Structure 1
């Protein structure tokens, strides 16, 4: 079984085709999907998708791009939303200094509120970071000094330094279709050094479709292509990478039941 640990199934790219997208994911061996919240004002729509399908779960949070445009988030609101049985993570949150669609201070305040919610609920923090490695690590370290929390760096495409620092903090690293891109040699070298027990795979669909689908709309079924490249980089078979990434996912997202625990 494979898991798509990060997708955006509420985005209009999927529209009325969502049933077919989910069916293709299942046919490709994807047994669990997590659809990620980016706007607290649209959380109910995200949650409704998770409620609609037995094998789909969701998160609650505000993407750093939306830190200015969304209501000022507070930890209590995140914690309350996380009580729902289908909400299994906090985020996505973090820092994005590449686009800077929101002011850095607003992103940092939101990031810390999400970390506190992760700490209080025990649910994993889903971290987005782009061109903000040093500030991301500084905040993660400062906050972990106030109490542990679980989490992962999603769609990892940064430096070996960031990977090392996040691993030291106990975080996981989630790999997307970027690892299949021709120009991602540095990333592939970093992946070779990652421990197998800290790797997850994702699509970030509808974005970042892996080779051989690059340039097209991404979807959860395509996580298999990313997993295949990760298996090659780690020098293991596809069956092992499926088993290890699924085991890692279920350990981190421990609110998600394993397949054998699902009735019906």
Structure 2
């Protein structure tokens, strides 16, 4: 069995189809789904989903792209919701230097506030990092993120040194469909470099659809393709990847 550790079943793309999407995933051996809420709308939808489906868990936080819109009231609201027994982490939080909606200083401020929030509620953190590897890891190290631990979501392009720093904080590395793309090199190297007891699999669906379905809407049923690619790259069985990544997910998310 597999756990999709990062999926957006709360996205508009799945409106009216969640039952069918979950059923298709179960038919492909996916037993649990961790849904990420990252703004008011998706957090509200996440709370609805975790109440409606036994196999769905939630992660809530404020996305760095929208950091400029985040208020103290929003963070207080997230903190109040985090006491729900099926909220398993704070996220996805971090830094995103690809898009320019939110200035870097505001992103950093909101990121740090949410690390401190996670410490108060004793939950791990799920990190979104795009084109901001060094600043992201520096903040995690300097603000004692090691005390809560967490996941580097879709962390396909870090250097060996950066991965080592992340692992030294007790973090896990989650890989998505990017590692199946034919024209990538570093993501495949990362899939081999990270110790098996620190690897997770995810879809980030409806985004990052794996080969050979690239260009179509992603679904959690396709997380199996990520596990199969890891197994092929590492020269081990798919069953070994399933077992390890499922145990890892249950450990970090405490489920």
User: Structure 2 length as normaliser, TM-score?
Assistant: 0.95
- CA–CA distance in structure 2, aligned partners of residues 62 and 75 of structure 1: 8
Cα distance, 1:98–1:73 mapped onto 2, change above 3 Å: farther
2:172 is matched with which residue?
172
User: What aligned pairs does 1:98-109 form with structure 2 within 5 A after superposition?
Assistant: 98-109=98-109
CA RMSD across the alignment: 1.5
- CA–CA distance in structure 2, aligned partners of residues 218 and 125 of structure 1: 24
1:48 is matched with which residue?
48
1:216 is matched with which residue?
216
Give the conservation status (yes or no) of the 8 Å contact 1:124–1:150: yes
- CA–CA distance in structure 1, aligned partners of residues 41 and 208 of structure 2: 25
User: Structure 1 length as normaliser, TM-score?
Assistant: 0.92
2:199 is matched with which residue?
199
- CA–CA distance in structure 2, aligned partners of residues 96 and 51 of structure 1: 31
Cα distance, 1:61–1:70 mapped onto 2, change above 3 Å: same
The number of aligned residues is 254
- CA–CA distance in structure 2, aligned partners of residues 96 and 156 of structure 1: 13
What SS does structure 1 have at the residue aligned with 2:69? coil
- Return the offset for 1:81: 1.2
- CA–CA distance in structure 1, aligned partners of residues 64 and 149 of structure 2: 19
- CA–CA distance in structure 1, aligned partners of residues 102 and 69 of structure 2: 8
Give the conservation status (yes or no) of the 8 Å contact 2:37–2:45: no
Please, which runs of 5 or more residues in structure 2 have no aligned partner? none
Say yes or no: does 1:34 pair with 2:34.
Answer: yes
What SS does structure 2 have at the residue aligned with 1:123? coil
- CA–CA distance in structure 2, aligned partners of residues 85 and 168 of structure 1: 28
